């Protein structure tokens, strides 16, 4: 059984939609590079970025996204990206294991 991306996500990849670019930056652990392109914003990773990133992982090579079903992996991800994650995102990620 093959999986396909939803048309709006595929369109976003082709058209470089900012929401999709944010998710790709999360997948490849390049959030700092993306944020440096627009230094006037103090942008943090939102839960929507992570959710879309999880959707993209099967279609992208060499993902650096952790296994979100593994507590240790999520805890390490939060620790290494603490300043980049929004407080709400951190709370939601921790809530998965409560």
Q: Parse the chain into domains and list their residue ranges.
A: 7-95
Q: What value does the mean pLDDT of the chain take? A: 87
Confidence band, pLDDT 50/70/90 cuts, at residue 63: low
Q: How far apart are CA 73 and CA 6, in angstroms?
A: 28
Structure tokens at 5: 């991306």
Classify 18 as helix, strand or coil. helix
| Cβ–Cβ under 8 Å, residues 23 and 53 | yes
pLDDT single digits (tens) 64-90: 778 888 999 999 999 999 999 999 999
3-state secondary structure 44-70: CECHHHHHHHHHHHHHCCCCCCCCCCC
**Reported pTM:** 0.75
Sign of CA dihedral 64, 68, 69, 70: positive
Q: How far apart are CA 68 and CA 10, in angstroms?
A: 23
Angle between helices 47-56 and 87-95 (to 10 degrees): 60
Tell me the average pLDDT across 32-40: 82
């Amino acid at each position: 059984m093959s999986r396909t991306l939803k048309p709006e996500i595929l369109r976003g990849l082709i058209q470089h939609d900012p929401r999709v670019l944010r998710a790709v930056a999360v997948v490849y652990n390049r959030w700092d590079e993306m944020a440096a392109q627009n230094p006037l914003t103090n942008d943090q990773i939102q839960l929507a970025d992570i959710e879309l990133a999880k959707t993209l992982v099967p279609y992208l090579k060499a993902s650096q996204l952790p296994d979100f079903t593994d507590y240790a992996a999520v805890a390490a991800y939060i620790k290494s990206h603490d300043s980049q994650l929004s407080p709400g995102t951190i709370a939601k990620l921790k809530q998965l294991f409560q």
